[in-house]
Chains A and B, each alone.
Chain A
């Protein structure tokens, strides 16, 4: 059997793939966080809960309405986005312009309530959610066998990240969003309905988290705490990439996912902390993050 740096090649490829999958979720989630933070100046601690809600929406749609994976991929983000819009209108919008700490506390509280409620209803154990028939099985890549669903997640997340990036960088709506991130008052004085833009942005960020949740359901199972386990790492990713940097969030997500996978191969003991070590180093050397603008 061939080895690379003394490690069996299949094990290495396997961990890189797992790293890419995890990185896909880091990227999608930190992207939403970065967009929300950029415009709303709210650190959305409920992001993990919104990811969990997306997975549960898919699970419940299937168990109670017989609605399968593909439709859930559309419906779950819409449902969670709608919930987020209500949250923004009724609660978050009262906190704009004051200390960001309040937004963090509010969304943290919401996350605890949501996760507590789902744990009460469904228990802490994970519920299985099967991948759709079209995406089961494995593909022989020559150097390794790749489960088709995992390949799909990597491709789908790349498309989602690229699509969001294009929306922000290349469209009129994106130009409003970028401009309002710099100077919301002036954009509103030009006649753009900025309060609506804020609402839509929060809805979009939450919908992205929910979409990631649906993609995750067949891989990680559906459980009330699936989001809170992940969100801490995602916050570290955002810190490394730089708060508010869209491209930074995406690139950092994938890179840190793969680095974490590689650490599992070469020094497994450090694999669960490697991202935090990198975060600490970045905070020391470049506090605004790798892609953040120093202010």
Chain B
């Protein structure tokens, strides 16, 4: 792993911040979210050129080769700017999954195109239950190990950017347990349907497979261990996105409370508003601490990494929802309009809180990590 110096980190953060300030303004987000793909290919290319798409992909495979700490940091910026892109799907979830499977030729073949942004990949892991454990897998693979010819059947759901992906990494049940398969998204027998999402900055799809020829990734690791590792990295990234977004929301609301005058005073001078803001600051700072701590634990391969990631998952999800929701109340009528950004964040917060399992799910995992 390529560890950045503190100065290099600042530079990285600044350059992402600048790119998103320039190219991912609120107006740009509103335009992009109403397009069918839901992302801006020009910005996507720029993110790839800057090394953001391949951030966690190793350098020999065309990536920047940095770790969870830098990823979390970049995602804070992504969350604040409400970036619409397949970054989490392709550059994080799919990329980490390919790394975690530890099959060198497959990784060497696929990761460079993912890092360059040419190929958008995503992982197909669950069905309509939206359950992110191995029991949630709904696709079945038939074939045999000797010829390594496999065919996928079944339908999956909640596939992140499934409608934009060229490459699918599909978890499927095989006669010998869970397997991981690579398939071209345009292959015969694949039907991708966009799911209409309440968060318009999000893209989800359901994908059905009807006897689709697929390549099995013959990993030595138990497949679900690799999936769990990829999901954990993705959760750290998502936690960063949520914490960054929540912090951004609160800052904007506090700024408004300083300038909006009612009863001859700034509304921020009323304790009702001040106390809401103070409570939210406790939440958002805690979320940032949780997300950054999870990233450090993961980077250090600490023994309590799973515990830290679970904590970050629910703390950041809940904080983003609470902050975005309370902010609408703090703004008053103005936030009830489509033109005001408050609802865009609240929509994303609600989606993010469900993306890879609910807060309750991660609270339970946290308890298990604590030995309870």
Bound pair: A and B?
A: no
Q: Hey, which bits of chain B sit against chain A, CB under 8 A?
A: none
Q: Hey, which bits of chain A sit against chain B, CB under 8 A?
A: none
